[in-house]
Structure 1
Amino acid sequence: MELDEYLPVLEQANARFAGAAAEAVLAHGWQAPVPGCPGWRLNDLVWHLSEVQHFWAWVVRTRAPDPSTYVEPRRHPDDELLGFLTAQNAELETVLAGADPTTRVWTWAPQQDVAFVLRRQAQEATVHTVDVEQVLGDVRPVPTDVGLDGLDEWLEVMVPGALPDGPPPGAHPVVFHAVDADAERTLFPGSRPFPIAALTGTAGDLLLAVWRRVPLEVLTVDGDGLQAAAMIDLVELE
């Protein structure tokens, strides 16, 4: 994806998330469990995305050199969550729209600029939109370009972040084949001569699989599926 595509993806994901959240509240209530986030309820999910967007809007707006002066918002009661979410959606979108992607800002990754925030927040909102749609029971497909970019981000950013010293002993390559993008990507390339498995599916389903939102059974698995799952699980995500 190109830099100018991330903000529209974020805006579309935010709108989908907010709409699905409002429907899920009416259908299932705030205490509905979130399948993709074990232990979370719907109110936790809505609060999480709101709080994340509040933080990154502050980072970009203030250009703070580190997050030490950030003041966390108080947890809002359930009946205020949708309003707070809408406000944070608008704030983050406005701040990012007015910022030069090359501007230096603090991030937790080696890439320290607004472009990193754009990509990360577009992908964050995309995955959490699937989370809330799973609560509602109406999950829409992740667009091919967004799914492939998210898989690339997971491999390029999340894997090194979780495993800064490289693949641990015993790691095996896992190949991802995105049929709708006619593209292949590899987890732990070079760690062994041959991959332990190849996983084939849409780019969106591959993205959701590495983020543990769907089981590998939604993909076509050629090789050792259990070991492939174990390799993905080596990338511990917070």
Structure 2
Amino acid sequence: MILAPVAALLCVAGLAYLLARQNAAPLAVAGLARRTTQRDHGLFTSTIAFLAGFSSLVAILALIAPGPIVTTIATVTVAALAGGIAMIAAKRLQPRAGFERIVEVLLIVASTVAVLTTAGIFASVALESWLFFHEVGVVQFLFSLKWAPTGTPASFGILPLVVGTLLITFIAVMVATPLGLMAAIYLAEYAGPRRRAILKPALEMLAGIPTVVLGFFAALSAAPAIRALGN
């Protein structure tokens, strides 16, 4: 007995879906309401139409055959209808807006955490640097020729470290510049397509390896061999 009214309500909901989808087409073409697709607009409108009709049907059944089950169904249906009407009244015809707002909040939180982390690192380094230079003079730190932080007395001259870094950088540039240029010229001008397809990804993978990893590998493998040759 109740199947016929429910089928009629489904037909009404389908008609509401088609009409809402058709009405949303000009908005989509005009570039308005870009957060809502035509399908979402149709589903939202058809759901409200079905709830309105179903609530009326349940209210009629509650009057004809009152009972706890029918009363519960009527209460839930009316509550759902009220929520749908409230959404329409607030013009919340964008089903994705809530999800996008949640994602936006999460992105803001992630960005804030990143900024605060960077600020915390900067503040920590600045505080430790201030405490360090409070005990060790800037001139002694920059121009002293001895680096012995565990010595007695301790010495914190950074000049040997700077000179050693510049020397290693100069040697690395002298070795890497001709090799890199020759490899690039060969790949660009002389290598065939098949060989280029093999060598180019290999070089890109090598370029992606952090220099710290390469230095650690050299310290464990190449440095002992060079030291043995020197002895």
TM interval, shorter chain, is under 0.3
TM-score, length-normalised on structure 2?
A: 0.25
Which of the pair has more CA radius of gyration? 2
Bigger relative contact order, structure 1 or 2 (CA pairs below 8 A, ≥6 apart): 1
Structure ranking higher in helix proportion: 2
